[in-house]
Structure 1
């Protein structure tokens, strides 16, 4: 919520900057067009600047999936995972270095987070195992962030202090990244909750059908028993 307030505050700063610019001497139409095109291109490039690997994949029963990433030495890396659907919502996770040395291992975890700094350059491996499950498929979310986010184009080329418009744009960019992260986690929680509700609904339906069949069967049995009680009895006589 604080980040959203910061985002709204940054947006209001942009509006204030625009109002202050409108009070300054008139800007030519060509300059306004170039400024608008630059802002649009900047917004379009924002999703392409992330250095994270984020995906959701299906992990079958008795299966193991591994992902590989080439990372330089001394790079901060963060792994985040969560089991969205399937079984008891658990999975085995292992992170190995270039020499197959185990950096992180968790058994039957529903979710987790692991952050480390690479000590050597090479190929790092992240594995998710569902080999302990005999029939449950899992849907797993993984987010692997390697290094810091790349700076926006042109930010490092500034020889002077940034203007209020540029500072506000950077603030909006940071807040939008936070909003995207919150949205991803909320979607995962919503999907997990919806799947649990569907499974509960299915279980209740099966139990209701079973109980209905049992009640009908018991009623028929009672009718037959009562019918036998009050039916005609034939006696056999020995001749």
Structure 2
């Protein structure tokens, strides 16, 4: 009985050790006014952690933004100008607070709406003794492979959802802009037609005015 309990404890410990790594993250939406800078922060507990940064401009102007990522020492990790979206993963080599900033300095009146998320991923360590891990490696390998495959498929699905959502918003914005242009063109065209008709009436009245001393042959 004791041996069965020991094996069960070892199996559960091994299962916990091969589960996907713990992730701290946040999925957010923010608006950046013209000529303003918005920054968000994430804390890295230890050197070597994986930091993920994704954003996509959903509306505003040409759907582009300036962005920069700074480490705790205010050094630039990555930066970009006139970027519509980005999906980055880098290693946090310094412990401390990382800054993720958006700057809307290119627009004079357009407010940029941005979807983004920041993740800090910590890789777990195997705490089992080497001998116990060796005993369970043969049984845990298929499970570990299945978990890794599911995690990869979920990541692909999430990225596809982000992609379709971004292009849906941009397509809707393009349709709305086109509709606005057609509406204003129709209004201007109607005003021009009314102006021409009114001008023709006054010209005809002027030419055929009875009080006029001039005669015109038609």
**TM-score, L = length of structure 2:** 0.72
Choose the corresponding residue for 2:116, options 138, 142, 146: 142
Q: Which residue of 2 aligns with 1:178?
A: 156
Alignment: residue pair count = 184
Write the deviation string for residues 28-84 of structure 1: whole angstroms up to 9, x where unpaired. xxxxxxxxxxxxxxxxxx9xx653332221112222110011112112223222211
Write the deviation string for residues 164-201 of structure 1: whole angstroms up to 9, x where unpaired. 78965764454234223311221121112111211211
1:186 partner SS: helix
Counterparts of 1:133 and 1:81, CA distance in 2: 18
1:147 partner SS: strand
1:52 partner SS: strand
User: Judging changes above 3 Å, is the alpha-carbon distance between structure 1 residues 149 and 205 closer, same or farther for their aligned structure 2 residues?
Assistant: farther
**TM-score, L = length of structure 1:** 0.66
Q: Given the alignment of the two structures, is residue 224 of structure 1 paired with residue 202 of structure 2, yes or no?
A: yes
Q: Which residue of 1 aligns with 2:35?
A: 62
Counterparts of 1:206 and 1:79, CA distance in 2: 40
Q: Which residue of 2 aligns with 1:202?
A: 180
Offset of residue 111 of structure 1: 2.1
Write the deviation string for residues 126-173 of structure 1: whole angstroms up to 9, x where unpaired. 10011342211110121323226879xxxxx99361497896576445
Unaligned 5+ residue runs, structure 1?
Answer: 1-45, 152-156
User: Judging changes above 3 Å, is the alpha-carbon distance between structure 1 residues 149 and 178 closer, same or farther for their aligned structure 2 residues?
Assistant: farther
Higher deviation after alignment, 157-166 or 171-180: 157-166
Higher deviation after alignment, 92-101 or 182-191: 182-191
Check conservation: 2:23, 2:120, Cα contact below 8 A.
no
Structure (1 or 2) with the greater strand fraction: 2
Offset of residue 227 of structure 1: 2.1
2:66 partner SS: strand
CA-atom RMSD in angstroms: 2.9
Unaligned 5+ residue runs, structure 2?
Answer: 1-19, 126-132
Q: Which residue of 2 aligns with 1:4?
A: none
